[in-house]
Structure formats: structure tokens, C-alpha cells
A and B are shown apart, each in its own frame.
Chain A
């Protein structure tokens, strides 16, 4: 894997990292729980035929500024600025997990900003009959298995890289978790169902068949709520962060949808 090009944009006066790699039409990726402490095989796959642009949400690895965001409107406007400043307005957009909820908001509230949409197990809904798991009340040794079907994929994502600052690295990982919690505590429910009907972009919904955070049945609720043409695909052998468990299969499905 060669390194992506890194640049920085400012949102509300705070730096947010933007990674870029590849050639071809642009697509954007908003990551899920944990963010992107490192570049991924999944993104490399996409970069073979597309210009992959990956902005970090405020508070995620490579970015700060989550502490200024108090309301859902604050978050939505921060993400909108991030999309604009990363040069993603009007491009295809992928959002996963917490990033998926924001990708859905972009397509709903700023329809001109998203050409085609992929949602990978997005946050935003809660069903008391089928409650989502609380990702923020877990014993340490349960987290990897909760995030991925193969916990080693999560461990590899968050492992301290050689040469990293051993004090700042765990703080950065904790900050990513705090940023997600700040936006979605306590249930992950932003009442997104009220806005799904505004989404006109053709949408692919991907869900890991072994998602231990959000029940795969939530895919149907998204499909039923979204106004544009919508397709649901289950990803075999994948957990909540399907792009870590099955990078090739998820990349193939994404590229097929965007083509």
C-alpha cells in the first residue's frame, strides 16, 4: 500500500485531515466507529479506478473540533463544510456506521451534494423492539469482536504503529470514541427516519450479516424510508465495520453501484 496524499482543511477553526489517493471520478468516504487511524486495503481497492477522498470527521483521527459541536445541526453543518472543503460536493459518497448517518443527512438535506450514495450499517435509527448494542458500555476485551466479525481486523486498525507517540496514540483513539459518542449518545438515534424520505440519490445499503452493533434488520427500515431507488445487500462474513472484515467484497459492491 502506498501512502495517500494528506492535506488539512479547517472546520470552525479546527484542523481536519483529508486523505486523497487514486485517479478517476471522485468518491468520498466517511468512516465508522474508530475512524481511520491508518489507511486501509478497502480504500486502496477503490483507488484503483477512482479518486478516493477521505475527510476525517471532527474528533476522529487526524481531526479535532468535536468539542465545539453541541447539537445535531452543528454536526450536520460541520460535515457539510467538510464535504465542500474536501472537494466532494456533487460526488459519490460512502458512509459507514456513524459516518453513514452523516452521509445520509448530506443526501437528505443537501441533495445536490451527493450523486450516488452507499450506506454501510449506518447509525441514526433506534428500535426499542430490536435495540442496538451499546458500543460505549463494553469491557475492553469485547470491543474487537463487537466491531468486526474477525476481531483481529479491528485490532490491526487500532494497533500502535511503530514510532507513534505512546501517550498520544491511546488519547487519539479515545478521542475518536468520544467524538462518536458526542454525536450519538446514548442510543445512536438522531431520528434520521424523519429525513430519509428526502433522499433522492440512488442508494446501496450494505450490512454485515454478523453486525453485532446494529441489527441487520435495520437495513429494511432504511430501505423503506429512503425515497430514491434503494437496494440492500448483505455482506457475508462481515460484522459492523464490514469494510474492515471484507474489503474486496465491499469495494466491489460499492464500485458496481457507482458505475
Chain B
């Protein structure tokens, strides 16, 4: 299986009384809470952590896009990915992803992803989320009733921009361009970089991923127990559509904290986990459901209870039934897997096999976890967990993984000289 290291880049210094004094971590979080001098260190710590994860052997490093968000400091994940392209060598770069409807014209995504693919020698995984209500409809003012149509059209345009050899005109419902001819073009051109789709639990998305042969990723913050129903729904739908159970069709996000013992793990990871589930997911419910964001088919399924409200569970603003913010409930609920290496190995094997997920995206930094603790968690996982779960799904081929240039064909990146770094 593939083990991927995911960073959300949370602001790590939200005050203790944040939830009492502020209505939301997202959309209208107050600017006075943001100290750019502190953020300088946070960004550099986070990028150190991503580079470290690549160094210790994770298959991929993952970044994502959020706007006006106190737990996600990456309005542009592409900036981070381009830096990682230069500071890593063989690790896949998973940009999870660019919210297509937010880019005008959407060919900007085709261009920037092509740049990252060229700079990295063909290591890009191209994630295309619709984007959360908070990011797209509120922070970016997109019309919720048109968001999905714009998303699908932008997808068609980006894919055609990657694959069409001649300059072409695109006459869409929302986008019109006379001359589409992106330079650069992606290295992965057979036919294009792997496309992965992070989504909630809508049947429409599952069917579309199956039809397009894309990887479906369920990126919930609530762990494998809450995710089980969704992933079972996904696999049932694949079976109905006549698709095989290749676990690499799917990706799943899981928080993990590993230490020498369960008690040590509790000691180390309780504070950052409680910071994340307490402060970082403190999203005002008024930003939960812009009218039209959820399709009527999904609403109908939700009301009828067929879907166990999976789409809502993926959305922090509608977490009404899932409010654990203390470590015992967080662990009991399966949001965060903690324990000794043996205990974590057992749980990871259980997660991967019960959900049938070949791409496991791990959050090993969360909340206000320090760089030292993050590196410890990352190293413990790489050295003592990874080798004992790696064999899972060996019988299956991962057809959705990047195909970089052969090593001999790739540029040699000169060693970084730290004396040129920003002065302390």
C-alpha cells in the first residue's frame, strides 16, 4: 500500500479562549489573531516537516487548499508543492488539490500543475476537489447553485488543455477562451497526470470517478469508524458498476500518533489533538449549507437515511452529531489512532483492509503539534509502522500513481546552502 504524509498547515497559536470569543475558525476568523512574524516560523516548520517526511521514506507528501481558514494556511498549495519539487527527489507530490471552479480561467490550474510536474520530473498527483462551502461559496463568493456545473466544465477544460495537441477554442457555458494552448505541458502525458477526487459521500461523485477512472478520496477528520459506511457505499457502487475492488481506486485520511507506549502517545498527542478537534473545527454553522451546494439527489438520499449523512460528516460545519473534543472520545471515536508501534500497526492494517483503501493519507502533524513532536511521530511511523504494513495489497497494481522520468533523466538539484536562508 501507499503511505502518504499530509499537512493541513494549521495556525498553531490560536488563543485558549478562541471558542468562547470567536464564532468561527473559518470565513470570518479575525485578522488580529494572525501574526505574520509567527507565521513565518510556522510555514518554515511545516515545510521542514514535509521535507522530513519525504526523507524518511513516505511515498508521497500531500498539501491542500483552504481560504480564510485558521487551520489551513495554504490558499495556494501549488506554492508549497513547487518548493517541495526542489527539496525532494523521489517522493510523489500530491496536491489535494486545486478547487477548479475558483480559478478564472481554469487553465491556470492546467498551467501550474504542468509546471509542478515539469519541475518535479513527473511526480505530481493532481487533486481536483469541488471545495468546501466555506472556501468556495463564502470566502470566494462563488454561486453555490452553479459551483458543480462550473467545476465539471473546468475539469473538462483542464483535461483538454493537457491532452489536446493543437491550439483550440473552448466555448463553454461559463468559460470562453479563443486560444487554449498551455505552455508548459505536463511530463506525465500518457494521457495526463493521475487525477484524484476528494469528495464527501455523494453517489454522483462515486459514479463520476468510476466513469473517468479517477481515484476517489474520502478526506474526513473523523477517522475510520465514521468513514466505514462511506467507503462501504463506495465499494458497493463500484460493484454495481462492474468495477473491480482494486484498493488503489480509493484514498482515505487518518490521524495517527505513535510513540513507545500507548501512555506516552497519550501524553504527547492529547494536547495537539484536542487543539485540532476543539479550536480548529470550531466552524460557525451558518456557513454549513449554502443553498444549492448539496445536490437534490444527495439531499434526498440524506433525508431518506440511505447515505447515513456521509456528505455532512465530511463537512466540519455540520458536525452536530460528532462533537468529541476530549482525547478519550477522540480516540474512542477512531478520529485519531494512537498507541505503541505494535498497536498502531494492528489498527492501520485493520483500517486499510476494512475500508479496502490502498492510498492511506496520514496526518501526523495536527493542531499545535511542535516540529520536534511531529518529526518524532513521523520517524516512529516510518521506522516502526511503515515496514510492517507496506506489504498490504501487493497483489494489486496501482494504476493511479505518478510515472516520473527515470532517475538518469532527471535534473540534479544542487545541495541547499542554509547560509542563504532567511536570517534568524
Instruction: Say whether A191 faces chain B, with CB atoms less than 8 Å apart.
Output: no
A171–B145 touching, CB < 8 Å = no
Query: How far is A179 from B296 in the complex, measured between Cα atoms in Å?
Result: 13
The size class of the interface chain B forms with chain A is 20 to 34
CB proximity to B under 8 Å, residues A187-205: none
Instruction: Say whether B300 faces chain A, with CB atoms less than 8 Å apart.
Output: yes
**Chain A proximity of B172: nearest CB distance (Å):** 11
Query: How far is A186 from B292 in the complex, measured between Cα atoms in Å?
Result: 13
B143–A185 touching, CB < 8 Å = yes
B290–A137 touching, CB < 8 Å = yes
Query: How far is A31 from B145 in the complex, measured between Cα atoms in Å?
Result: 20
**Chain B proximity of A45: nearest CB distance (Å):** 30
Using Cβ atoms and an 8 Å threshold, which residues of chain A touch B290?
136-137, 181, 185
B127-142 near A? 1/0 per residue, CB < 8 Å = 0000000000110010
Q: If the complex has contacts A136-B290, A137-B138, A137-B286, are A181 and B300 also in contact, measured as CB distance less than 8 A?
A: no
Using Cβ atoms and an 8 Å threshold, which residues of chain B touch A181?
143-145, 290-292
Q: Which of B143, B285, B299, B303 contacts A182 (CB 8 A)?
A: B143
Closest partner residue, chain B, to A141 (CB atom): B285
Instruction: Say whether A217 faces chain B, with CB atoms less than 8 Å apart.
Output: no
Using Cβ atoms and an 8 Å threshold, which residues of chain B touch A113?
none
Query: How far is A105 from B287 in the complex, measured between Cα atoms in Å?
Result: 31
Using Cβ atoms and an 8 Å threshold, which residues of chain B touch A185?
137, 141, 143-145, 290
Instruction: Say whether A138 faces chain B, with CB atoms less than 8 Å apart.
Output: yes
B144–A167 touching, CB < 8 Å = no
A137–B291 touching, CB < 8 Å = no
Instruction: Say whether A5 faces chain B, with CB atoms less than 8 Å apart.
Output: no
B296–A175 touching, CB < 8 Å = yes
Query: How far is A181 from B146 in the complex, measured between Cα atoms in Å?
Result: 10
**Chain B proximity of A170: nearest CB distance (Å):** 7
A212-234 near B? 1/0 per residue, CB < 8 Å = 00000000000000000000000
Instruction: Say whether B304 faces chain A, with CB atoms less than 8 Å apart.
Output: yes
Q: Which of B141, B284, B287, B303 contacts A167 (CB 8 A)?
A: B303
B174–A70 touching, CB < 8 Å = yes
Using Cβ atoms and an 8 Å threshold, which residues of chain B touch A186?
137, 141, 143
A167–B145 touching, CB < 8 Å = no
Query: How far is A137 from B145 in the complex, measured between Cα atoms in Å?
Result: 14
Query: How far is A65 from B291 in the complex, measured between Cα atoms in Å?
Result: 16
Query: How far is A175 from B286 in the complex, measured between Cα atoms in Å?
Result: 18
Query: How far is A170 from B291 in the complex, measured between Cα atoms in Å?
Result: 12
Using Cβ atoms and an 8 Å threshold, which residues of chain B touch A138?
286
Instruction: Say whether A248 faces chain B, with CB atoms less than 8 Å apart.
Output: no
Q: Which of A139, A166, A182 contacts B292 (CB 8 A)?
A: A182
A139–B286 touching, CB < 8 Å = yes
Query: How far is A99 from B138 in the complex, measured between Cα atoms in Å?
Result: 24
Q: If the complex has contacts A167-B300, A167-B304, A170-B303, are A67 and B285 also in contact, measured as CB distance less than 8 A?
A: no
Closest partner residue, chain B, to A166 (CB atom): B303
**Chain A proximity of B130: nearest CB distance (Å):** 16
**Chain B proximity of A143: nearest CB distance (Å):** 10
Instruction: Say whether A66 faces chain B, with CB atoms less than 8 Å apart.
Output: yes
Instruction: Say whether B173 faces chain A, with CB atoms less than 8 Å apart.
Output: yes
CB proximity to B under 8 Å, residues A71-119: none
Q: Which of B143, B146, B173, B299 contacts A174 (CB 8 A)?
A: B299
Using Cβ atoms and an 8 Å threshold, which residues of chain B touch A170?
299, 303
Using Cβ atoms and an 8 Å threshold, which residues of chain B touch A182?
143, 145-146, 292
Using Cβ atoms and an 8 Å threshold, which residues of chain A touch B173?
70
Residue among A67, A136, A139 with most chain B CB within 10 A: A136
A177–B291 touching, CB < 8 Å = yes
CB proximity to A under 8 Å, residues B275-298: 284-287, 290-292, 296
Using Cβ atoms and an 8 Å threshold, which residues of chain A touch B137?
185-186
CB proximity to A under 8 Å, residues B326-357: none
**Chain A proximity of B27: nearest CB distance (Å):** 8
Query: How far is A170 from B299 in the complex, measured between Cα atoms in Å?
Result: 9
Q: If the complex has contacts A66-B145, A137-B138, A138-B286, are A171 and B291 also in contact, measured as CB distance less than 8 A?
A: no
B303–A171 touching, CB < 8 Å = yes
Instruction: Say whether A178 faces chain B, with CB atoms less than 8 Å apart.
Output: yes
Query: How far is A186 from B173 in the complex, measured between Cα atoms in Å?
Result: 20
Closest partner residue, chain B, to A59 (CB atom): B145
A171–B300 touching, CB < 8 Å = yes
Query: A-contacting residues of B (Cβ < 8 Å)?
Result: 137-138, 141, 143-146, 173-174, 284-287, 290-292, 296, 299-300, 303-304
Query: B-contacting residues of A (Cβ < 8 Å)?
Result: 66-67, 70, 136-140, 142, 166-167, 170-171, 174-175, 177-182, 185-186
* 4 pairs of A and B residues whose beta carbons are closest in the complex: A178-B292, A182-B145, A177-B291, A178-B291
With A171-B303, A186-B143 known, 13 other A-B pairs at CB within 8 A are A66-B145, A70-B173, A70-B174, A139-B285, A139-B286, A167-B300, A170-B303, A174-B299, A177-B291, A181-B144, A181-B292, A182-B146, A185-B145
- 11 example contacts (A-B, Cβ-Cβ < 8 A) are as follows A67-B145, A137-B287, A139-B285, A166-B303, A171-B299, A171-B303, A174-B296, A178-B292, A181-B145, A186-B137, A186-B141
